[in-house]
Structure 1
Amino acid sequence: MRWLRRLRRGCPRRRALSLVLRGADRPEPLEVAKAARAGPPRRDHATGHGVSESRLFSILIPAVGGQGGGVLAEWLVDAATVAGHTAHGTSIPGVAQRTGSTTYYVEIYSGDAKDPPTFSLYPVPGALDVLLAPEFLEVGRAIELGMPSPEITTIVASTHRLFSIHEKMATGRAIHPLGELEAAARAFSRTLVAFDALAVAREHGSEVNAVLLGALAASDALPVGPDAFREAIQKKGIQVEANLRGFDVGLARGREGAETPLPVTRRPFRTPPALAESLTVFPDVLRPLVGEALARLIDYQDEKYAALYLERLAPFVGADRDHALAEIVARHLAVWMTYEDAIRVADLKTRASRFERIRRDARLKDAEIEVTDFLKPDLDEIYGVLPYRLVAPFARWAERRWPRGRSTVGQHVKTTSILGFLRLWLLAKLRPLRPISYRAQREHERMERWLTAVRRSAEWNTALACEVARAAQLVKGYGEVRRRLTGLFDDLIQRALQAGSLETLQGRKATVATELTAAYRRLVLQGPEQEGKAAALAADVMTRLERNEPDAALAAITGSGAGG
């Protein structure tokens, strides 16, 4: 069967095609009794987007759950029908951004409806006319599969990001750079129309799919006019007014030539008025960061707690101090001091702004909304909010009893009910007890050890001090994950100080200690599978340093693949 002639996809056949397999005297199979009929509909592409000849157009929609990819595909099919063309749509289900997004594929034939082609269920890589992506990472996925072509493909995409599971699961920062996605989209598209459709949709009370449909209509990539798209939206009958509004906004945005992603807008830094004078001792480059940190700390606890932050940061600030080190310490210290305990979680879940946001996102003005929070605290998180003196003996017993993990208590709390809300609200009211809680005692003891290690490292080498300061990035997560990472953090700090002290005694500038600290942190941030490698590397490097073999130690770090 492998010698059968390959039939071109899209060629209509009215009957079986007879073939003669090639033999020794026939290099190619021969077609028997070739039918006298017109050629198949063309899939080659015209030089311009405004197409008048008969051919087949292919549109791929790699959808993210909840953004209306199915409705968008139906709009395309209905609009093509309204415009007098033949269209076909299909979908391949998937779990968005986990095992692959749900892809919707539409083909539109602009020729004679009496002689339609055989439509395909899936696009041909490199022969795609339109890639319509409701989320920017999906453009990268399609490029990886080879779908778009720089000669023929129009890419219409929203530049906002919904982080994938792999980006969220990583211990370190694994967010795919927006600049790389933009560069790839430009390289693999004939025309790129990209902007933050989610922000536009929210601003005008519409949906992303309607805004992108308008941008597609403005691109003239399909033989379908704006009026046909509007009629398709009306025919579908789903939030017609809002979707038409979004379509018109997207149409206008597409005609403006929105070919580049909008710059990422950041919330301006805040400065609490009560502590504004305290910022005068900081250099200009640090004031916005410290101001935001103070606002965050006051929201988390109170002004006294924010003053403690300034007190801890003071040794790293001054005319003779390194501003880069001060910035690293200021950033990580603020995040660490606002660790999310059960009190903080309860506080955030019972704020009025949260319920307002849920109602706004659901776009339900008068309907009753039920919110159920799924909580699974372990013993550490439960007794961690209680006073240290009260629960310290029990905590020590629990650590001996369950050294590899504590028991968890699964809870489903209906926060919109009176009892459910009251339960979390009362927990949030324990905030005044936080400074004397068992969790606070443990966290602040570790913070002080970290700050002491940073100051000690700064005496040897500023680069080493910066790496020790960055090690606070490992202190994150909840439950067993946090216990595991804080254990690695403690080991890293100990190794950094040992290596730095040893190199100083040997008359060097703690170069190996700096590289080891950076490599250890990078390995841990790559994920749990690299944590054992980080510990083994540290042990190997320390052994080489004790033998006064710095070059061999550096070679071991470089060979680990985590060197700078």
Structure 2
Amino acid sequence: MTQLSQDRPINIAIIAMGGQGGGVLSKWILDLAESQGYMAQYTSVPGVAQRTGATIYYIELFPAHLAEQAGKKPVLALTPIPGDVDIVIASEMMEAGRSLVRGFVTDKTTLLASDHRDYAIVEKQEMGDGRRELDNVRRLSEQSAGKFICFNMDDAARSVGAVISSVLFGALAGSNALPFERSAFEQTIEDTKKAVESNLRGFALGFERAQGQLPEAEKAEIANPSGQPSPAVAPLLQRMKQDFPGHAQFLITEGLKKLVDYQDPAYADLYLDRLQKIADLDRELGGEKRSWGLTKAMARYLALAMAYDDTIRVADLKVRASRFDRFRDDVKADEGQIVHVSEYLHPRLEEMCDILPAGLGGYLLGSKAWRAVFDRFLGKGRRITTTRLPGFLLFYMLRSFKGMRRGSLRFKKETTRIEEWLEQVKDAARIDYELGCEVAGLQRLIKGYSGTHERGLGNVAKIMAAYADFKNDADATEKLKKLKAAALKDEEGVALAAALDEVTSTRAAA
């Protein structure tokens, strides 16, 4: 894709969501074009209730000297026409997909896209992983566009304290699609006299990335990819490398990180003890020929099971400095601005008893009198501001129970559940290797805490009750897959109930 000629109109479509500065970017392009001898017009068509609304900004640039030669004013369009767009700028990867579907991208188009995601409501509302696959969007973009420039512009903007619109503007300049010098782009930003320094930083980074250059910080990271592990973690990594297959070591490493952060190195060592039993069985069943699928599945799901969400974990996450930093970054707070964070809590007796010593927690949980007292004084929903000292100290105190977690009621219950699940996985794998992997994947259904966690446990219990009847069937793996998928359809369990009825009736008919 060569630079567009100064002797022809230029059509540009920007597809951005609310809050991403699509209007600012459009205004920059208009000001730039007018300063370079172009007549310019832009319109916008706002979206409706899609991740705050995706808006199409359409810009037409017409060389003023051509209008003067013809002695007429051009008639500029109000909306992009499929097949007649020179430059498409997509602020997010799904928006790049929309531009492809609408026919805006052809072999004469320069497509600039950020490959980060702001998930759609339909993706967020699913109980499982509802994210849409985007590899096909990238592949089709590469095939369809005359020139395709794609990188995470949102992360790039955050890394230099800028907004994504400035990085998009820089990528546009770096693409060489417009017949303007870099200095003209920069002058346009300076002329606005608004957040000039940060916008120029974002512009420079976008320009460099569009031209295939890596910022110095990224070069240094590639040259020195990682430091030495801490003395407490090094023995765990050494054991992993000695005792586990290479195919699974990436997932195991992530599991170790999670569990050391969750509890301590000794708890991560217990993870390796449990996983070792699965790896030994996998080796016995010829797992090497199957790329160690069972070990990899359990490396992932066992770490999730052991890092269950209890009150201690929730409190720990809520008072981490990185969380407050992320909130400030999300709202783009300036230095010195105060950002308050309020947490909504609706505690139940179960969550409080779970973190107490097993004997005491079990006694209080079974006491009607204690439940009545708890519900009267603590059982109401309330908001607690963790950016104020009282609220912060409350969560910090709950976080300090971490050292006593191994003696808690919840730890006792989770240990029993995990050990039973491990035996179920091993028994299923001996029947059929793929069936064992599917039983391992039941952990996907158990997540969160409070009512969400209980619903997940209830769904697994229903599935395992049915599984006990069909586990020896030739199609047991497919049946289990179907039940797991149904359990993730809705919170009410309607789809799962229908799937269980279908499985039961099919077996009865057979």
SS in 2 for 1:511: coil
Q: Give the structure 1 partner of residue 129 of structure 2.
A: 173
Q: Give the structure 1 partner of residue 375 of structure 2.
A: none
| Partner residue of 1:352 out of 306, 321, 324 | 321
Q: Give the structure 1 partner of residue 336 of structure 2.
A: 367
How far residue 499 of structure 1 moved from its aligned partner, in angstroms, is: 0.9
Q: Give the structure 2 partner of residue 249 of structure 1.
A: 205
Identity score, percent:
34
Q: 1:354 to 1:543 in 2, by over 3 A?
A: closer
Give the aligned residue type for 2:423: T
1:386 matched to 2:356:
yes
What is the RMSD of the two structures over their aligned residues, measured on CA atoms? 3.4
Q: 2-side partners of 1:362 and 1:104: how far apart?
A: 24
SS in 1 for 2:14: strand
SS in 2 for 1:59: strand
TM-score normalised per structure 2: 0.83
| Partner residue of 2:311 out of 342, 361, 383 | 342
1:137 matched to 2:99:
no
Q: 2-side partners of 1:526 and 1:179: how far apart?
A: 24
Q: 2-side partners of 1:149 and 1:274: how far apart?
A: 53
Which has the higher relative contact order, 1 or 2, with Cα contacts under 8 A spaced 6 or more apart?
Answer: 2
Q: 1:193 to 1:414 in 2, by over 3 A?
A: same
Q: 2-side partners of 1:85 and 1:532: how far apart?
A: 60
SS in 2 for 1:439: helix
Give the aligned residue type for 1:390: L
Map 1:339-488 → 2, pairs under 5 A? 339-358=308-327, 366-379=335-348, 380-392=350-362, 395=365, 409-488=380-459
Give the aligned residue type for 1:347: D
Structure 1 residues 124-160: Cα deviation after superposition (integer angstroms, max 9, x where no partner): 333322211121221112223x141314322111222
How far residue 308 of structure 1 moved from its aligned partner, in angstroms, is: 2.9
Q: Give the structure 2 partner of residue 518 of structure 1.
A: 481
Q: 2-side partners of 1:356 and 1:394: how far apart?
A: 38
Q: 2-side partners of 1:141 and 1:460: how far apart?
A: 46
Q: 2-side partners of 1:370 and 1:202: how far apart?
A: 18
Structure 1 residues 416-475: Cα deviation after superposition (integer angstroms, max 9, x where no partner): 222221121111112133334343344333323322211221232222111111111111
Larger CA deviation: 431-440 vs 469-478: 431-440
Give the aligned residue type for 2:205: V
SS in 2 for 1:317: helix
Q: 1:197 to 1:205 in 2, by over 3 A?
A: same
How far residue 63 of structure 1 moved from its aligned partner, in angstroms, is: 1.6
8 Å Cα contact 2:18/2:52 also seen in 1: no
Give the aligned residue type for 2:82: P
Q: 1:226 to 1:375 in 2, by over 3 A?
A: same
| Partner residue of 2:507 out of 545, 551, 563 | 545
Q: 1-side partners of 2:499 and 2:325: how far apart?
A: 50
Map 1:183-198 → 2, pairs under 5 A? 183-198=139-154
Q: Give the structure 2 partner of residue 106 of structure 1.
A: 59
Q: When the two structures are aligned, how many residues end up with a matched partner?
A: 479
How far residue 64 of structure 1 moved from its aligned partner, in angstroms, is: 3.1
The structure in which a higher percent of residues are helix is 2
Q: 2-side partners of 1:440 and 1:162: how far apart?
A: 36
| Partner residue of 1:310 out of 269, 272, 297 | 272
1:64 matched to 2:64:
no
Larger CA deviation: 536-545 vs 388-397: 388-397
Q: 1-side partners of 2:77 and 2:6: how far apart?
A: 22
Structure 1 residues 195-229: Cα deviation after superposition (integer angstroms, max 9, x where no partner): 22234334444432222212212334335443332
Give the aligned residue type for 1:524: A
SS in 1 for 2:139: helix
Structure with larger Rg: 1
Q: 1:248 to 1:351 in 2, by over 3 A?
A: closer
Q: 2-side partners of 1:202 and 1:443: how far apart?
A: 39
Q: 1-side partners of 2:209 and 2:45: how far apart?
A: 30
8 Å Cα contact 1:289/1:330 also seen in 2: yes
Give the aligned residue type for 1:129: D
TM-score normalised per structure 1: 0.75
Q: Which runs of 5+ in 2 are unaligned?
A: 372-377
SS in 1 for 2:247: coil
1:320 matched to 2:284:
yes
Q: Give the structure 2 partner of residue 91 of structure 1.
A: 44
Q: 1:464 to 1:396 in 2, by over 3 A?
A: farther
Q: 1:342 to 1:516 in 2, by over 3 A?
A: same
How far residue 268 of structure 1 moved from its aligned partner, in angstroms, is: 7.6
How far residue 311 of structure 1 moved from its aligned partner, in angstroms, is: 3.1
Q: Give the structure 2 partner of residue 32 of structure 1.
A: none
| Partner residue of 2:32 out of 79, 82, 86 | 79
Q: Give the structure 1 partner of residue 7 of structure 2.
A: 53
Q: 1:274 to 1:218 in 2, by over 3 A?
A: closer
Structure 1 residues 507-561: Cα deviation after superposition (integer angstroms, max 9, x where no partner): xxx42211111111123334458x43443333333444356x3xxxxxxxxxxxx
Q: 1-side partners of 2:201 and 2:272: how far apart?
A: 49
Q: 1:97 to 1:397 in 2, by over 3 A?
A: farther
